[in-house]
Structure formats: C-alpha cells, structure tokens
Structure 1
C-alpha cells in the first residue's frame, strides 16, 4: 500500500463502518454514540501500524461484538494481522484471537443453531478470509524477495568469475607483450648507438611502457580482489592524467550529487575514459569539454570534441563505444553518440539506482483473483446468509 493512499483508505474505512452502524439502527443512535464509535475505530486504525495484532484483537474481541458493526475494520485489521504473522507463536496468538472473537460474538447474539450458522459465515468472511489473504500475500512477497536476492547473488558470482577470467587473460597475454615492449625499450634506453634526440624519445617510450605495466598490474589486482575505486575523485584524476599528457580538457560539474552504485560509477568512469581517449586519438591538440551534470535521479555525462571518430570500417576503429553501450545498459542507463554543431558528442545517462524489478505476471494475476474472491465472499455470500438467517 502506498503511504499517500493510506490516510484516505483509513478515513474511508471509519466512515463506512460508521454509516453501516447508523443504518443498522432503525430508530437511530444518538450522536455521541456514533462519535464514540468513530473515535474508537480511528484509534484502532492509528494503532494498527505499530501493533497489527493488537488492533485486530481490539476489533474482533471488543468493537465488533459490542456494536455489531465494524465490518470494513475487520477486513482491514484481519488482512494486516495476516501480513504480520512471521512465526508459529504469532500464528497461535492470531488463531486464539479469532477463536475468542467467535466466542464473543456467540455470547453477544446467543447460541441458537441458526445464529451459530450465521456467526460461522461471519467469522469465515470477515475474519478467516482476510487473515489468510494477508498471510498468503506476505509469504508471496517474501518468496519473491528471496528469489530476487538469490538471482542477484548468482549474477554477482558470475560477474566475479568473469572478472577472474579477464584478469588471467590480461595477465597472461597483454602482460607478456607489455613486458617484452618494456624490456626492448629499456635495452634501447641504455644503448650508446642512438642520437640524443632518439634516446630521449626512447626514454619516454620506456617510461610509458613501465607505467602501462604498473597500471596493468593494478587493474589485474583490482579485478581479482573485486574492489572498485571508481567515483568522482577517480574521474577527476583521470581528467588530470589527460591534462598531464597535453590534452586540453575543460571539466564542468553541475547540480547536486546523488548516490550512485559502484557499478554505475565504474560505467561513468569508462565513459569519460573512452571519450577522452577518442578525442586525443582523433582530434589531437584540440580542446575537449567534459560535463558531469547531476539530475534528481541520474547522472548525465557529456564529452564533446571538435572532430568525430573515424568512420566504421576505417583502420583504428575499435569496439569502445559498443562496450560503453553494454555497460550503460547493464546499470539501467544508455549511451548516445554522434555529430553535433561543436563536433562529436558522447552522451551517457546513468540512473542513481537500478529500476526495481516488476513482480511476475502470474503473481499479479493471482493477487487480482484473490481480491475478486474476497469481494465476492464479503459482499455476496454474507448478504445471502443474512437473508437465509432472517427467514
């Protein structure tokens, strides 16, 4: 039940039971009696949120037997009490309250056979059925939550397994090749046969190779440990690294930051990394603008550079943008790219939290059928039993 609809429903329950009580007395009731009933019903409704079982007991054992009304309140408190059953002890107390309510109704209306039949129907429709409905839906909700949690755990296990596989492949293949490049560059660096200009270039190449090896080892370690260091600070450090590499980057932050899951921060980091890499590769020496704008429930990333990436099929075209789309889709967002007036734009929308999964369609159908059966029994079977009992 949505919190905004709860006060309206509570007011409707109290008003309906008060109107039923007034209509059930042909000679009418004094205003103070109706007011006292409405006040008692309101107090029970207010207490139900903290103590569903206590509110159910007050309705079944006191309000309904004394006044002969409280039908809507019985349905509500019975349903909420069924929702609150979480152990055998709670179930035993609930059954005891329901049995006590039947005894209280019998004491108030007599024990004639026809009266007992009516009371049995009354107990079934207004006490037992709401309890079973609340209990069933609560169990169903907990079962769905458990299944979703297991699904998340399985997905996390597969993700960790894939990270380990990627870490092994990177260490065995890319690590070996970078090691060879680093060794060859170091050998050229100490050689006396190179002119000073080429020696300086070789020194820079060897330093870059060693830095690449260090970053690769750090990345492999992060993949193996499962720990992520992505976040706004990591993105700012990434921008600083590109600036240090002589890339002119303008970085803008707008809006109030919101919480993002770790996977979303990783996707944001990769978007900025890919955008700056493409800009440095395809528009060297040109300024790049990175805009990180916070919306109420999302992060918008925009990277604009004066020239676009190479056309599909040309040498140098990779799979970075396709990989970004997959990353963004995995966290519930999307990535778009294409030419704009300023040049080429890479845009990513990453939500603050993944969308809540909808309950399966069969579960919703079962809820609908259960609500329909409750309505038929409450407003069809009981009036029929009243007519039969009145003959």
Structure 2
C-alpha cells in the first residue's frame, strides 16, 4: 500500500505541469463556449487559439512567466476566461517579490478595469458578469486575491523549510566539528599518557642496557646489551612518530620503510638470534611504494611473531615477483624451545586489513608444526 502511494505521488509530481496545462486549456475553452462562463460571439478558431496558448503558457511557467501573464490578460479581455488568470495570480504570489509583485498587482487592476470597459461595450450577460460593481469586486477577490494569498503562503512555507534545512545542515556541521575537536583532544590525551608511561619505561630499559654494556665483561652479554640498547632507541623513535600522528591528527602520515630496508630488518632479526634466510624468486622489478611498504610490514609482523613464539625455528623469507604482483611468504619450522611470549593476534588482523585494502589476500596458518604467513599483493591495487 505504501509503495503504491509513493508511486502515485511521484507520477503526480512528474505530470503535474502537463495536467495543469490541459486543465487550464479546457477551462478557457469551456468558458468561451458558455459551459462555465460567458459565451463568446467570436469565431471558434479564436477560442481554440487562446485555449491552446493558455495551456502552453501554463506548462512553461517554470521557465518563463510573462507568457502566462500575457495570455491571462488577453483571455480575460477577449473571452472573460478566468482560468489562466487564477494560475497567474498564484504564480505571482509564489515567485514574485518587491517591485515585480507590485507591478503584477497594478497590471491585474488594469486588466480588471479594461474588462469593465469591454463588458459595458458588449452589454448583455458580459456586462452583468464583468462590469457591475459587486461582480468586479468578487472577481478581484477570486481571480487575484485568493490565488495570490495562497501563493504567498506557499512561498513563505517553502522559505521556512529552506531555512530549517540550512539550520539543520549548519548544526550537523557544527556537531561534526565538535566531534573532530573531541577526537583531537582524545588523541592528544592518549599521546600524553603513552609518552608518560611507555616512553619512560623504554628509556629506563635503554639506560640499564647501556650500563650493562659498559660494566659487563662477558662478550655475549655485551652484544646482547648493545642490541637491547639499539632496539630500545629505535622503539623510542617509532613511538615518537606514532605520538606525532596522534597529536597532529589523522592527516599526518608516519614515514614507513619499504623493500629496500628488508635486508636490514632480516639482519636485525639474525642479530636477535633468529635463523632467517631470504629467497627471491623471479626477476625483481620496480614496485609501487605502497606495495613495498605493505610487503615490509608483512615480513616485519611475521618475524616479530617468530621471535615471540618460535625463536629457535628455521625461518625462510621468500619474495616471489609475479607479472601482476608480489607474493610474500614467511615460513618457520617447529619450535622446541621454552615458553612463548603472549600475543593478541591484533597484528595479523591489522595486517590482513592492510593487504585487503590493496585488493590482495593474506593467509596465516599453522603448517607442519610451524607457521606460514603468505600475502599476495596485486600491482593494480597499489598503483
């Protein structure tokens, strides 16, 4: 039932101008023939021409008003037909303001006065209808007054709705701006808390590692302390970049490494004790920067998980260059070492979203007692 009503309303809105034009043309012809007005003694061709002109002017009033005003005046003076005049008065109230509206009222008064003169000359029913004082006042009210007031009311309602829409849009923009400010303040608060807590503890770790590096006499301990100190400083640098994003807003971008830093990443993992080897399959080609950064992130996240869960396992990093993309595979064997570090799995979830944004696929699954991370990243998504 509701769909039928909506369909009927849309059809009415679509054909409203045509329907009104046909109605006005029919009313003008009926008025001239005496069915709903004063019968005109003029030839029928004159009646048909004025009826068609009235219908056309009514249909074209959205783009041109003066034809309707003209045929309304001619129709009243020649045929005493009021249909076009009623529509013209409504349009004047709905669309005219200031001097144009005053000009229309002056013109309407002149046309009514001219109708009185014509009625007196023609005599008979025409004189009684259009030239007597009572009928002239009634015609002025019905032909000009009521339609004009209705048009003014429609215009005022339309202006009020437009003002309400503007106010709603302004309030919505203000609400969004307020939400942006709240988010910015929250980002700043998070950044401050992260700096106070995380950066402080990492700094202590770096200081203690540096002290251990200086005081110990064991070469292995010295090397491990140096690695901890270097890694901690890099962590502080990365943390500052992340905090900069939180402070500056979402538009800021943290500079990320690409495939050109992959050997350095693997070297750091080897220094940390992982047994990592790299394999390149296919002919290396120039890749988009976005693809390179995503591939680097895949390898970094996979090696981080290996350090957490299988630090003693043999690990292979394989890049396979394809005609339409890049396949990144990080696979580690089974681990026989001690307890694993806890993990939330959020890294792989974020990584999957990052790969899928480029139109690729990410697979992360246990295999033969170890673990496999495979990402297929197309060139088209990163271009």
Distance in 1 of aligned mates of 2:90 and 2:264: 69
Aligned with 1:19 (options 17, 22, 30): 22
Distance in 1 of aligned mates of 2:279 and 2:103: 80
Whether 1:132 and 2:156 are equivalent positions in the alignment is yes
Cα pair distance change 1:102/1:321, threshold 3 Å: farther
For 2:253, what is the secondary structure of its paired residue?
coil
For 1:230, what is the secondary structure of its paired residue?
coil
Q: Which residue of 1 aligns with 2:165?
A: 141
Aligned with 1:69 (options 60, 71, 84): 84
Q: Which residue of 2 aligns with 1:176?
A: 200
Whether 1:167 and 2:182 are equivalent positions in the alignment is no
Deviation of 1:184 (Å): 2.0
Distance in 1 of aligned mates of 2:218 and 2:348: 40
Whether 1:245 and 2:265 are equivalent positions in the alignment is yes
Cα pair distance change 1:39/1:103, threshold 3 Å: closer
Distance in 2 of aligned mates of 1:41 and 1:14: 5
- Whether contact under 8 Å (1:304, 1:344) holds in the other structure is yes
Aligned with 2:178 (options 132, 154, 159): 154
Whether 1:315 and 2:335 are equivalent positions in the alignment is no
User: 5+ unaligned residues in a row in structure 1: which ranges?
Assistant: 1-7, 47-54, 82-92, 254-264, 294-302, 308-313, 327-335, 348-391
Whether 1:214 and 2:217 are equivalent positions in the alignment is no
Query: Which structure would you say has the larger Rg?
Result: 2
For 2:97, what is the secondary structure of its paired residue?
helix
Distance in 1 of aligned mates of 2:376 and 2:252: 23
Whether 1:123 and 2:144 are equivalent positions in the alignment is no
Aligned with 2:104 (options 101, 105, 121): 101
For 1:316, what is the secondary structure of its paired residue?
coil
- Whether contact under 8 Å (1:248, 1:286) holds in the other structure is yes
Matches within 5 A, 1:225-374: 225-226=248-249, 228-230=251-253, 237=257, 244-246=264-266, 278-282=301-305, 285-286=316-317, 315-317=342-344
Distance in 2 of aligned mates of 1:202 and 1:345: 34
Distance in 2 of aligned mates of 1:73 and 1:204: 89
- Whether contact under 8 Å (1:61, 1:97) holds in the other structure is no
Q: CA RMSD in A?
A: 5.6
CA deviation profile, 1:71-121 (whole Å, cap 9, x unmatched): 778878976x5xxxxxxxxxxx72554454344334334572221331322
- Whether contact under 8 Å (2:24, 2:54) holds in the other structure is no
Deviation of 1:141 (Å): 1.2
Deviation of 1:223 (Å): 2.8
Distance in 2 of aligned mates of 1:273 and 1:75: 70
- Whether contact under 8 Å (2:68, 2:84) holds in the other structure is no
- Whether contact under 8 Å (2:362, 2:373) holds in the other structure is no
